[in-house]
């Protein structure tokens, strides 16, 4: 059953049509991903759906009593309310009651008779609304997103504020939930939880995201917004990419045929007065219509075009961290970390928000000194730092002024006009003189990339570069970084981006420990699951044995009373030799994996080595279990 329908809806700001005679319908239970380039109008479409923006023409039908929740990209304004109060506010009257109860139980004088009476009133009213179960949901969402319930929103960063508004949207359980880039500022654990939360929900969802893993796991349908037109693509993301490419090719061929015909007609009209004879008036009118159609055509947005100049080679050693520790007060952030980063390494850094990923980057860059240990930096390093807060941009200056004080810049030894260079990063000429504070998040990211890529650098340090980038720009950046010959340090919560770019990972674990692993995010996740399975497996095997031993001898014969068969005896004798060979091969593989040059091999060789290591681990577990079983007999 349809919850919402848009019929022939159009909306334009100035000369730019964001929505052009759009038809759209969403059914109950769908999870629709809205995709499109930065600036295509995706957030505007959300505002039209909620009624915050009115279309120039067309009709919008909403099911009666339809409840809509909306997470916007904009950061909410300051308020003295606590995080708990803001999140609970999404529940209406119940939220106000829960907030008052929460506040009353956390303030002095709660034992006063008047306070106790008010608490009793609140408890009774909350119980009548089945509020305790819903209240626990508020606390669960706050915990999963790592939000401080007593913190006042006015004192929170922009990233925390967006997470608060996400929590508010989730707990309200609307009929239709609109999420605009919900994974921004979330760490991988929170993103994974959000995926499971939304998959388990019964509501209807429309979301915008650049996180391809999130998209693939959630979307039941993909809707593309391109030059004001909406096109629906049932199926998965890979199917969408294929069909979208086919449509663009068909469109390009049709445009080429049209342009060829128009050129022929223009040549004909220029041949002279004969074209204006009566018998040719129809042809002249047709030409005028073709001219009008050509002038009204909106060209497909071009792809970003940029490259990275790796410059001169650095020394072989880029950074050597020797038993490095660092903390803030009594809280250890990094404890006893030893690792070497060599020229050409592409290292991903993974961990929850606030664990110390940016701190680790600053230690490597020499911006802060370790509390213990030593950081030795290599020679001939030319470093570009893409910081999470975009501090390299002056928000009061224009796009042009952030790039250069003149109209020209030097790129890879060539002199280029700043306007032409910024076109490669999808900045139209009319946007060049806009202040940076007026740019969207994606535009600010592209500007910072443009600023970085004017330099020749042999080491790139990227702290969350993927936020707000559209998928096309993201994939181009991936390709460039995969081919980059310098050294790369990357902090990201984008799992697909990590898998496509890095060849090893530093993972923040408990109590300031940092583990080092070969491969990207999926490789680390697979290894972590194996470790968890390896720890759980002995317990599972021990269960039946313990149960059998608990049975009295008179009721169940002991397994050890039966002699081994000839075949089992030979198997038992062969097992120690088999285990020894497997352990030797395992040691050789571990030594190879720890070698600095291992990740420089072709990817298929790296994958084969990792796969063989997994096989050996499984074989050893099976062999040890079998040996223990036969020995016990």
Q: Where are the domains of the chain?
A: 83-159, 241-296, 317-519, 523-632
Looking at every residue in the chain, the average pLDDT score rounds to 79
Strands (E), 383-491: 383-386, 408-411, 414-417, 459-463, 487-491
Report pLDDT for 436. 84
Report pLDDT for 107. 61
Tell me the sheet residues that pair with 152. Answer: 82
Find which of 108-122, 152-166, 290-304 is predicted with most confidence, using mean pLDDT: 152-166
| pLDDT greater at residue 147 or residue 100 | 147
Report pLDDT for 305. 60
Q: Is the pLDDT of residue 457 over 60?
A: yes
Mean pLDDT of 558-566: 54
C-beta separation of 181 from 153 below 8 A: no
Tell me the pLDDT band of 421, cut-offs 50, 70 and 90: confident
CA distances from 505 to 327, 479, 482, 491, 600 (A): 21, 19, 15, 10, 14
Query: What is the topology classification, in CATH, of domain 317-519?
Result: Rossmann fold (3.40.50)
> Count H helices, E strands: the chain?
19, 20
Options 1.10.287.380, 3.90.1150.10, 3.40.50.720, 3.50.50.60; CATH for 523-632 is: 1.10.287.380
221-230, 266-275, 369-378: the lowest-pLDDT one: 266-275
Q: Is the pTM of this model over 0.75?
A: no
3-state secondary structure 427-454: CCHHHCCCEHHHCCHHHHHHHHHHHHCC
Mean pLDDT of 35-51: 86
C-beta separation of 176 from 203 below 8 A: yes
Q: Is the pLDDT of residue 253 over 60?
A: yes
Report pLDDT for 556. 36
| pLDDT greater at residue 486 or residue 443 | 486
| pLDDT greater at residue 554 or residue 599 | 599
Tell me the pLDDT band of 579, cut-offs 50, 70 and 90: confident
Tell me the pLDDT band of 95, cut-offs 50, 70 and 90: low
Tell me the pLDDT band of 554, cut-offs 50, 70 and 90: very low
Report pLDDT for 530. 78
| pLDDT greater at residue 85 or residue 368 | 368
| pLDDT greater at residue 94 or residue 224 | 224
The H-assigned helical ranges of 129-157 are: 131-144
| pLDDT greater at residue 102 or residue 298 | 102
598-618 CB burial, b ≥16 within 10 A, e <16: bbeeeeeebeebbeebeebbe
Report pLDDT for 208. 92
Report pLDDT for 302. 54
Tell me the pLDDT band of 361, cut-offs 50, 70 and 90: very high
Q: pLDDT for 309-329, tens place per residue? A: 666 777 888 899 999 999 988
Q: Is the pLDDT of residue 27 over 80?
A: yes
Residue 581 tokens, joined: 């060979």
Report pLDDT for 88. 80
Q: Which one-letter DSSP state was computed for residue 409?
A: E
Report pLDDT for 111. 53
CA distances from 540 to 103, 431, 544, 616, 621 (A): 46, 63, 8, 20, 13
Return the percentage of the chain with pLDDT > 70, whole number.
81
Mean pLDDT of 19-33: 91
Strands (E), 235-300: none
| pLDDT greater at residue 231 or residue 440 | 231
Mean pLDDT of 507-517: 90
Q: Is the pLDDT of residue 334 over 90?
A: yes
């Amino acid at each position: 059953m349809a919850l919402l329908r848009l019929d022939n809806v159009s909306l334009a700001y100035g000369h730019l049509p964001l929505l052009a005679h759009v038809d759209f319908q969403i059914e109950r239970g769908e999870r629709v991903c809205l995709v499109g380039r930065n600036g295509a109008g995706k957030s505007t479409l959300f505002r039209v759906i909620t009624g915050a923006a009115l279309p120039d023409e067309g009709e919008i039908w909403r099911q009666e009593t339809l409840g809509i929740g909306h997470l916007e990209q904009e950061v909410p304004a300051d308020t003295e309310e606590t995080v708990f109060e803001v999140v609970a506010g999404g529940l209406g009257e119940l939220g106000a009651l829960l907030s008052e109860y929460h506040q009353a139980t956390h303030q002095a004088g709660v034992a006063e008779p008047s306070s106790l009476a008010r608490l009793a009133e609140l408890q009774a009213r909350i119980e009548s609304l089945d509020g305790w179960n819903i209240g626990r949901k508020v606390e669960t969402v706050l915990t999963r997103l790592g939000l401080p319930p007593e913190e006042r929103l006015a004192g929170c960063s922009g990233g925390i504020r967006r997470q608060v508004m996400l929590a508010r949207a989730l707990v309200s359980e609307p009929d239709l939930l609109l999420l605009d880039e919900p994974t921004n500022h979330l760490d991988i654990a929170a993103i994974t939880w959000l995926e499971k939360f939304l998959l388990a929900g019964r509501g209807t969802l429309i979301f915008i995201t650049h996180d391809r893993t999130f998209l693939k796991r959630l979307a039941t349908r993909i809707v593309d917004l391109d030059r004001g037109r909406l096109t629906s693509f049932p199926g998965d993301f890979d199917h969408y990419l294929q069909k979208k490419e086919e449509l663009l090719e068909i469109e390009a061929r049709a445009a080429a045929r049209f342009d060829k015909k128009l050129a022929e007609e223009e040549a004909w009209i220029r041949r002279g007065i004969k074209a204006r004879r009566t018998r040719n008036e129809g042809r002249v009118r047709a030409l005028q219509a073709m001219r009008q159609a050509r002038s009204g055509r909106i060209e497909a947005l071009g792809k970003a075009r940029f490259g990275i100049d790796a410059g001169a080679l650095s020394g072989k050693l880029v950074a050597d961290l020797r038993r490095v520790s660092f903390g803030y007060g009594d809280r250890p952030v990094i404890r006893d970390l030893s690792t070497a980063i060599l020229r050409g390494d592409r290292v991903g850094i993974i961990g929850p928000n606030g664990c110390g990923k940016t701190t680790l980057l600053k230690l490597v860059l020499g911006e802060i000194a370790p509390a213990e240990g030593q950081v030795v930096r290599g020679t001939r390093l030319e470093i570009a730092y893409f910081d999470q807060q975009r501090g390299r941009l002056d928000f009061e200056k224009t796009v042009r002024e952030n790039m250069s004080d003149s109209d020209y810049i030097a790129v890879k030894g060539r002199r280029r006009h700043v306007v032409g260079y910024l076109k490669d990063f999808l900045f139209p000429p009319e946007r060049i003189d806009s202040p940076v504070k007026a740019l969207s998040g994606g535009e600010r990211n592209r500007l910072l990339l443009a600023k970085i890529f004017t330099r020749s650098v042999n080491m790139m340090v990227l702290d969350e570069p993927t936020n707000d980038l559209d998928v096309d720009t993201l994939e181009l950046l991936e390709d460039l970084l995969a081919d980059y010959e310098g050294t790369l340090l990357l902090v990201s919560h984008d799992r697909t981006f990590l898998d496509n770019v890095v060849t090893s990972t530093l993972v923040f674990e408990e109590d300031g420990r940092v583990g080092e692993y070969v491969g990207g995010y999926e490789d680390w996740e697979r290894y972590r699951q194996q470790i968890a399975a390896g720890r759980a497996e002995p317990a599972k095997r021990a269960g039946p044995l313990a149960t059998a031993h608990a049975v009295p001898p008179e009721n169940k014969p002991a397994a050890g009373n039966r002699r081994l068969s000839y075949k089992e005896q030979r198997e038992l004798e062969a097992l120690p030799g088999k285990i020894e060979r497997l352990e030797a091969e395992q040691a050789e593989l571990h030594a190879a994996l720890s070698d600095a040059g291992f990740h420089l091999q072709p990817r298929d060789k790296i994958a084969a080595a990792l796969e063989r290591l997994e096989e050996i681990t499984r074989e050893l577990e099976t062999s040890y279990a079998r040996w223990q079983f036969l020995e016990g007999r």
